[in-house]
Structure 1
Amino acid sequence: MSSLRRRLLLWLLPATFLVGLLASIGTYWGAVLELNDLLNDQMRYLAEHISVEPGERVVLTDTGNKPSPLRDDNADEVLLQVWSAGVLSYTTDSALRLPPPLQAGLSDVEVGDQIWHTFVSQRGDKVFRVAQAQNKRWEELAGLAVHLLWPVVSLIPLLALFLWFGITYGLKPLKTVATELSERNVNSLQPIASKELPGEVKPLVEALNDLLERLANAFAMQKHFIADAAHELRTPVAALCIQVELAQRATQEVDRQVSLSEVQSGVMRLTHLTQQLLTLARLEPDAQSPVMQRVELSALCKSVITDQVRRAEASGIDLGLTEHAASSICGDPETLRILLNNLVDNAIRYAGAHAKIDVAVRDTDEGVVLEVCDNGPGINAAERERVLERFYRGNNQTGSGSGLGLAIVKTIAEQHGAQVVLNAAPNGWGLRVSVTFPSKLDNHAG
C-alpha cells in the first residue's frame, strides 16, 4: 500500500461502520425488549378495560367519558376474545380458533405454525383475552431495524469525505517537513524545527535531525581531514619536485646519485604518508563497523614482531616480546594489527639506532594491557596528549614519520573501548605506550 491516506481510510471506514453496526444492534436489541414490554402492556390494558354491554356489545372503557366500541378492523393488529363458562362468546376473528384460556396473565399459545402472545383477565364469570401474532411483532421489529440501520449506511459516504479531509489535514505536518527538505541545498544540514509539530511526527523529525547532525559532523571531519591531508602532502611533493630538478641539473654523477637517493627517500615518505591517510580514512567513525571476533594478543604480537624484526635489526635495535599472557579480547584482527604495527613502527623510527624495544601483554585488574616500551629519547610530558592528534609531531622528533601513527592508534583503541596512555619508560628514559582493553573475551564473547 503506497498511500498512507488510503491505508488509514481502509482501516477507519470499516471500523466506523462496524462500530455503527454494533451500536445499531445494541439499540435494536434494547428496542426489542422495550417494544415487547410496551405491546404486553397494551394487551394488558385492553384486557383490563374491555367490557360486554347488553346485546353482547364489546366496548373499551376508560377512554374519556364515553365507552369506545371495538371494531372488527382491529383484527389485523390484536385479537379480542370474550369467554363465558369456557365458551367463546365474542371474537374479533371468528376464523381463528384459539384453545380456551387456562390461566390469567401473560402466556404464549401455539396454533399451527404461529405463536400468539396473549394476556388473559377474568372479571366475574367473564374471561377476556387479548392476543397478538408473533409475526406481527416481527414485522414491527423489522421496520425498526431498517430505521436504525439506514442512517448508518447512508452516512458512510459523508463519513468517508470527512475522514478524507481529516486525514489530509492530519498528514499536513509530514508534507510540510517534506517540502522543507526538498527546498534545501546539499550544504544545508540545519535541524528541522519541531516545536510546533504534533507529538506523532516529532519522533520522525527528531530522528532526521539526529541524522542531519551526524552528517554535518561527518562532513566537517571530512573537510578537516582533506585540508590536513592536502597540507601534509604539499611538503613532500614539493621536496620531490626540487630533488628531481636537482638530479636533472646535476653535472656530476655523485651529485646526481645524491639527488636520486633523496628522491627515493621522499617517495618512501610519501608512500608511508599515503598509506596512513588511507588507513585513517577507513577508520572514520561513520565508516562500516568492523566484525568483532576472538583475538589472542600474544599471537598477534609475535606475528607483528616477526614482520618488523628485520627492519629493527637493520638499525641495530633489539625488538622482542617480554611478557605474553595468554589473554584474548573481542576485536577486529585487522585493525588491531594496524594498531600494533603503528606502535612498533613509531618506536623503530624514533628510538634511534641500537635502542631496545619491548612488547608485552599482561593481565591487570583493569583488563588486558598491550604495551610497547622503548629506551629512546621519549616525548615530553607536556606533549604526550597532543601527539595523539593528527599530523602533530613533537618538537624533539626528527624521524620521517607522518604524524598520523598515534592518531590511528587512538582511533582503533576507541573502536575497541580501550584507553591509550603515554608515559616515560620505567628507567625514566624513552616512551611507554599502554593500551588497556576493558576486559577479557570470556566476559563478552565465547
Structure 2
Amino acid sequence: MKELQHLLQPSLLRRVVLAVFSGFMLVWLALVVWEYIQLNLETDKDLRDTSRHIAMMLRPIDDRAHQIAETRAVSDIINEQYRASNVTDPYLVLLYAADGTLLFRSHKTGQLPLRPRDNVIEKVRLGELDYHVLQTRGPGWVMILASPTFRALWVFVQTSKDIWQQVLLACAIILLALYLAVWGGLQPLQRLSRLIAARQPDDLSPLAFNARHAELIPLTEALDRLLAQLKLKIERERAFVQDAAHELRTPIAVIAAEAHVLSSNSARDNGDAGARMRHAVARATALIDKLLEMARLDDQRPIRPQRCDLATMVRDEMASALPQALAKHQEVSFDGPEQFPLNIEPAAFHSIVQNLLHNALAYVPAGGRIEVRLGVLRQWVELEVWDDGPGIAPADRTRVFERFHRGAGHDSPGSGLGLAIVRQAAHRLRGTVALGDGLDGRGCCFHVRFPLPPTEGAV
C-alpha cells in the first residue's frame, strides 16, 4: 500500500520524464500528420507527371494494340510499386478510343466514364474509396488516371514503420540524459532536506548550507529568514511570559501578605489589609484582562467585520471615562462626525479607543486637555488622541509600543500593555499607529490610521 502511495505521489522527476516523452509522442504525431498532408499534396503532382509521360509514350504509336500493350505495361508497373509500398487501394488506368469505346482498364471494378474536361484534376468517390482523377486526350485516344487518396491509418502505419526506431532511440537517449541531469540537480535539495530533518527541534540557527546553485540560493535565504523570524518570535514570547510572571508576582505577593495580616491582626488592621488586598486583586485582574485582550488581538483567524458606528463608539467610551476625567478636572473633547457607519471589526477598534483614551487620562496631569479626533483622509480612517501632558522623550518613542514598557519618570499605575494592545489592534485592522507631539507642541499625539474597506466611500 505504501509503495502504491509512493508511486501515486507527485514527483518532479516523473513529471519531467513524462513531459519529454509526451513531447516526443507529439513530434511523432506531427510527423505523421505532415507526411499525410505531403503525400496527398504530391498526389496531384505525381498524377500530372505520370499522365504526361504516358501521353508522350503513346503519341508516336498508331497501332491500337500497341497502345493498349504499352498502357497495360505502365499500369502493371505502377500497381506493382503500390503493392510493394503496402498500398492496398488500386491505381486505376483507363484508355478510351476517341469515340468513347473502352480499350483498356487496369481493374474490373475501376470503371470511370469520360470526363467533361481534360487536364483538370477532380476528386471522385468510387465505392468506399476517394480518388484523384485526371483525363488526358491524345490523337485518337483518351486516357484517365485515378490515384487513390492515401488513408490516414495507412500513412500512420507506414510513417511509424519508417521512423519509430529513430524516435524511440532519440527519446531514450534524451530521457536518460534528462533523468541523470534532474536527479543530479535534485541532490542538493535532498541534502538540504536531510540537513533540516537532522536538526534539533529547538535549533533555530541559520542552516549554514552552501548553496552553490543559483536556483537554491533564494530558497536557503528564505529558510534562514524564516528561522530568524521564528527565533525572534519565540524570544519575544519568552520575554513576554517572563514579564507577565514578574508583573503578576507583585499583586500576588501583596495578596498573600495581606491574607496573613487578616488572619492575625485586629479588626482595624484588617480593614486596611482588606483594602490593600482588594487593590492587589484589582491590579492582578486588570493585568489578566490586558493579557487576554492581547491574546484575542493576536489571533490569526480572519477578520469578521460588522456594521457599527465609529463615532458612537468613541463617544460611548468617552462617556464611560468621564468620572475619571472629572476627578482630575481634565477637559476631554471630541472632534468628528455625528455618525460614522463602517464595516469593521468592532473589538479591535474599541481596544484602540479605550487604551489610547485611558492612557491619556492616566498620564495627563490635573487640569490638562485631551482631544479625540476622528475622520477620513483620502481612503484612510484616521483616529487621533491629542493631549498636553508631560509627553514622551523622542528617545523613548520607539519603545513605548513594546509589551510591559513604561516610560521613565512616570508614577501612574498601569500594566505597560496598553500601547502594545493599540499597535496590535491597528495591525489587526491592517493599519498603523504613530506617535508625535501633542497640543501646543506639548504632550503626545497618537495617530492611528487604517484603510477604508473597498466597498466604503469617504464619510
Superposed pair shares fold, TM > 0.5:
yes
SS at 2:408's partner residue?
A: coil
The residue that corresponds to 1:393 in the other structure is 406
The residue that corresponds to 1:274 in the other structure is 288
SS at 1:402's partner residue?
A: coil
SS at 1:361's partner residue?
A: strand
Structure 1 residues 176 and 402: alpha-carbon distance in aligned structure 2, compared to 1, 3 A threshold: same
SS at 1:34's partner residue?
A: helix
Distance in 2 (CA, whole Å) between partners of 1:100 and 1:343 is 104
How many angstroms does 1:230 deviate by? Answer: 0.7
Structure 1 residues 306 and 152: alpha-carbon distance in aligned structure 2, compared to 1, 3 A threshold: farther
Structure 1 residues 106 and 138: alpha-carbon distance in aligned structure 2, compared to 1, 3 A threshold: same
Structure 2: where are the runs of 5+ without partners? 1-7, 79-92
How many angstroms does 1:341 deviate by? Answer: 1.0
Match of 1:326 among 338, 349, 355: 338
Structure 1 residue 437 corresponds to structure 2 residue 449: yes
How many angstroms does 1:343 deviate by? Answer: 1.5
How many angstroms does 1:75 deviate by? Answer: 6.0
How many angstroms does 1:147 deviate by? Answer: 2.8
Structure 1 residue 41 corresponds to structure 2 residue 52: yes
Structure 1 residue 227 corresponds to structure 2 residue 244: no
Structure 1 residues 39 and 156: alpha-carbon distance in aligned structure 2, compared to 1, 3 A threshold: same
Give the 5 Å matches for 1:323-402. 323-326=335-338, 328=340, 331-351=344-364, 355-356=367-368, 358-363=370-375, 369-374=382-387, 376-380=389-393, 382-402=395-415
Match of 1:30 among 37, 41, 44: 41
Give CA deviations for 1:224-257 in whole Å, capped at 9, x if unaligned.
Answer: 2321431342254156337625753785346666
Match of 2:213 among 196, 201, 205: 196
How many angstroms does 1:197 deviate by? Answer: 5.8
The residue that corresponds to 1:287 in the other structure is 300
Distance in 2 (CA, whole Å) between partners of 1:188 and 1:410 is 29
The residue that corresponds to 2:317 in the other structure is 304
Structure 1 residue 405 corresponds to structure 2 residue 418: yes
Contact 2:118 2:134 in 1 (8 A): no
Contact 1:58 1:70 in 2 (8 A): yes
Structure 1 residue 421 corresponds to structure 2 residue 421: no
Structure 1 residues 276 and 384: alpha-carbon distance in aligned structure 2, compared to 1, 3 A threshold: same
Structure 1 residue 150 corresponds to structure 2 residue 161: yes
Give the 5 Å matches for 1:97-112. 106=119
The residue that corresponds to 1:66 in the other structure is none
Counterpart residue identity of residue 58, structure 2: A
| Percent identity for Structure 1 against Structure 2 | 17
Distance in 1 (CA, whole Å) between partners of 2:444 and 2:152 is 96
Contact 1:355 1:374 in 2 (8 A): no
Counterpart residue identity of residue 421, structure 2: I
Structure 1 residues 287 and 214: alpha-carbon distance in aligned structure 2, compared to 1, 3 A threshold: farther
RMSD across aligned positions (CA): 5.4
Contact 2:389 2:444 in 1 (8 A): no
Structure 1 residues 261 and 171: alpha-carbon distance in aligned structure 2, compared to 1, 3 A threshold: farther
How many pairs are equivalent?
A: 415
Match of 1:217 among 221, 224, 229: 229
Q: Tell me the TM-score normalized by structure 2.
A: 0.66
Distance in 1 (CA, whole Å) between partners of 2:318 and 2:235 is 36
Contact 2:335 2:372 in 1 (8 A): yes
Contact 2:252 2:284 in 1 (8 A): no
Distance in 2 (CA, whole Å) between partners of 1:440 and 1:394 is 33
How many angstroms does 1:335 deviate by? Answer: 0.8
How many angstroms does 1:278 deviate by? Answer: 3.8
Distance in 2 (CA, whole Å) between partners of 1:30 and 1:106 is 17
Give CA deviations for 1:291-319 in whole Å, capped at 9, x if unaligned.
Answer: 45555332111221233345556x55557
SS at 1:396's partner residue?
A: coil
Contact 2:94 2:104 in 1 (8 A): yes
Distance in 2 (CA, whole Å) between partners of 1:283 and 1:361 is 23
Structure 1: where are the runs of 5+ without partners? 61-68
Larger Rg: 1
SS at 2:318's partner residue?
A: helix
Q: Which moved more, 1:14-23 or 1:162-171?
A: 162-171
